[in-house]
Chain A
C-alpha cells in the first residue's frame, strides 16, 4: 500500500500589514507498487506512433522497433492498444474498425508486434484525431482506473487547424495522461507541450530515430511503476483568502492554478495524475487579509487525496510579527523554486523572441536565464544554454546569441526548460 508524506517549508512570519504567504510543500510517495496491482485498479496503455509521410521508411522502421520495445515493457494483464497516426488515426492493434482494447499476454504481445511491423509512412499530421481515437479506445474499458499513453510525432500539426487541436485537447483533458516525444527537428515544441501539459505528461526531443527505442522503453517502465492510479492535490484556504497560485515546481514546473475544481467553497482540487515511488514539490501562494502583530492563523491546508481519502497533509501558517529578523528571512526553498520558475519562463520567452527575430529581448531573457541557472545551481540548464548563447559573465547574465545554433540544441533547451533541480535541504 502506497504511503504518502507531506512536508512544508516556509517562513511563516509576516511583517505588519503583510498579506502573502508562500510555501513549498514536498509530497513523497513510497510503496506505490506496479500499475494496476492494487485491488480495484486496472491499468491501460496506448502507444501512439506518427506514421506520416515525413517519417520516411527509415523513420517508420525505427518507430516500429521502438513500439515493439515498448510492448515488451507492458506488464501482463494491462489493457493496451496501438494507434498509428497521420492526417487521421487508425487502430493498428487490435486491428478493428471499432475502438477496442485487449489485455497483454504472450499472444497479444506477439500479435501487436507483428501489426506494428507492418507500419509504412504515408499522409499528413493531425494529432487531434489521434488523441480523440485514444480517448474512445480507453472508454471501451470502463473499469480502467489508470490510463496512460505515449505519443510520438515528427512534424507540425499541418492537417488540422490550431483551433481544432485546442478543442480536442480540452475535450480529452482528464481522460488519460500522455507523455509526448518529438523525433527530429521538424516539430513544434510549443504545440506538443500544450498537449503534454494538459494531459499531465512530459515533453522531450529525441534528436535521432535510433534513440527512440530506449526512450519508449523508459517511458513505459515509468508508467508501469505508477502504482497509484490517480491522486489530487487539495488546497484549503480560509474564508476571504485568495489562492494566488498552485504550482508543481519539481521535478518540473507545471502551473496547476487553472485546473482547480471546487471541493467546497474553501477547498480546491488539482489533478496530479498517477504516482510511483517519487517525490514532488509544490509551491503554494495564498493572499490573506492582514492581521495584527502577534496573531497567528492557518493560511492553507495542503492535502494529497486519493478519491475521497486524504493520504497526506501539510499546514501552511501565517504569524504576524514586529521582529524584522524573523519577517525579512526568505525561505531558501521558496527562493530556490521562485528562481527555477523564473528560469523556465526566461528560457521559453528568450527562445520565442529569438524565433521572432527580436535579438535584444532574446539576449536579455537568455542572459537572465544563464544568471538564474547559475544562482540556483541548475548545471543541466547551464550546459544547455551554453549551446545557444556565448556566456561572457554568468553572475551578471551577460551573453551573446551564438551565430549558428543546432536546431536540436535549441529545441532541447526549450523542452527541458521546465525541468528543475531540487533544493538542497
Chain B
C-alpha cells in the first residue's frame, strides 16, 4: 500500500508538471485527467475510497469535460498554440517559479521539523457510511449552504453565459425601411 502511494504521488506530480508546461490546451487537459486519477489513487491508499470515487466522477469527469466543451466552443486554432508558446518565455516564468520554490522549501522544512502527533491506534479507513452519517448529522447546515452555493452557481453561469440578443420591437423594425423609403422619395 505504501509503494502504491509513492508511485501515485510521483505520477500526480509529473502529470501536474506536464499540465503547467503544455502549450496546447487539450494536451494539458489530458494530463490534468491523469493527475486527478493519480490523486484518486492517493485517496484510495489513504483509506478514503468514497472520496476517490468522487474525485474520478466530479473532477476527472464533470469539471474537465466542462472545460473541454468550452474550449470546443471557442474554436481555437494553431495560432493560439503559437501565441501560448510566445507568451511562455523562460525569462517570464523563471522569477515566479524560483520564488515559489523558495516558499516550497520553507514548507518542506517546517513539515520536516514539525513533530506530528501520533495517529490513533485504530486503522485510518473511513468508509462512506461514516462520512454520510457525519454529513447529514453535525454538518447538515453546511450541506444546505453548499446547495445554495450550487444554486447561485447555476444562476450565475446562466446569467453570464447568455448571449444578449438584440430584440427590436416590430413597430421599430417596420419604421426603419419606411424612413429609408421616404428618404429615397
A and B assemble together: no
| Contact surface of A with B, Cβ cutoff 8 Å | none
